[in-house]
Copies of this chain bind each other. A is one copy, B any other.
Amino acid sequence: MIVHLKKSVSLEEAEKLAAKYKSALFENGSLVMVTPSKLKAADEELQKYAEQVFVTDTDIQLAGKQYLKTKREVNLGKVAIGGNTNNCVAITGPCSVESEEQIEAAAKLCVELGVTILRAGAYKPRTSPYTFRGLGLEGLKLLAKMRDKYGLQVITEVRDSTHADEVIEYADIIQIGAKSMYDHGILNKCGKTKKPVLLKRGFGTTLQEFVQAAEFILSGGNPNVILCERGIRTFETKTRFTLDLCGAAWLKEYTNLPIILDPSHAIGYAYGVPDLARACVAMGIDGVLIETHPNPKVALSDADQQLNFDEYRALHSSLKKVADAIGYKIV
């Protein structure tokens, strides 16, 4: 149950109430209290303090259509997505920051195509300790340099709580990766900022759990959460993962959060990325994240799935046509 408290309720009173009802409490314009979903009605005491009450079926509360009927709008610097914008944001860049030269090439590609958001990893969550784990802080600084030089927004991933503060400081948009999606340390810190957070679905994560992870951030007081489907793990191994567009349809129907899709990580092979990216855009979603690299063959991570720049140019142009066909705009 979500309770919008009256303006007259003091923070002190609200905290007492929150403790009593084992609820989350945050301020977003006014004070908002979120009880466990088992509570299905406001008792007399709560009604005294409540301006408005929203009852929810499950612990998908702040993120659900039962609370907000229309999709939230999230501002990403020069562009906004969600709400009534019908914008579909293109985000691109390499898997990892590898060098200034490499990331600058990606930044220039963005500028050339009118893409406003540059992505690249500085802290890479690898499955083996014997592989490249990213440039760390140095990578963050290179991203910041690109932002300043080219007027781009940068998005990069936080891998674990130990460097969460750093990433929150340097990035314009914070990405929580598929493997870190349950990390309370990260989720709590992302709830304390107002920067947009792109939350990736774990590859073994149900839609219910995925949206509940978003609730950690929302109930911490940050309304700027974007969901990102990037492929789930299934019995099929010809492709790295299985992009769950049925799941994307469900998220669109039942949640109020913008949705960005990541076909590159889903299939894991460049050959299928253009067709899948067009499919994503045709769904009517809020953005598409595609990995590109000036020279994919020598990439230090995810070499198989990154498009080269010419492939991306061609794809970007065709995405505009598909978006146009359904009344959306690539921004």
A residues at B contact (CB < 8 Å) = 22-24, 34-37, 59, 61, 125, 127-131, 133, 159-162, 179-180, 182-186, 202-209, 212-213, 215-216, 219, 231-239, 241-250, 252-253, 266-267, 271-272, 275-276, 278-284, 318, 321-322, 324-326
B contact residues around A37 at 8 Å (CB):
130
Copies in the complex: 4
B contact residues around A207 at 8 Å (CB):
236, 238
Q: Which residue of B127, B204, B324 is within 8 Å of A204 (Cβ)? A: B204
Complex CA gap A207/B127 in Å reads: 11
Complex CA gap A99/B318 in Å reads: 44
- Contact between A249 and B245 (Cβ–Cβ < 8 Å)? no
Q: A128-B59, A159-B184, A184-B133 are in contact. Are A241 and B246 (CB under 8 A)?
A: yes
Task: Give the Cβ gap from A254 to chain B, nearest Cβ, in Å.
Answer: 8
Task: Give the Cβ gap from A315 to chain B, nearest Cβ, in Å.
Answer: 11
Given contacts A160-B186, A278-B284, 20 further A-B contacts (CB under 8 A): A35-B130, A36-B128, A59-B127, A127-B212, A160-B161, A161-B185, A202-B204, A206-B237, A234-B235, A239-B246, A245-B245, A246-B266, A246-B267, A246-B276, A248-B275, A275-B282, A279-B279, A279-B280, A279-B282, A322-B322
Q: A246-B239, A283-B275 are in contact. Are A204 and B203 (CB under 8 A)?
A: yes
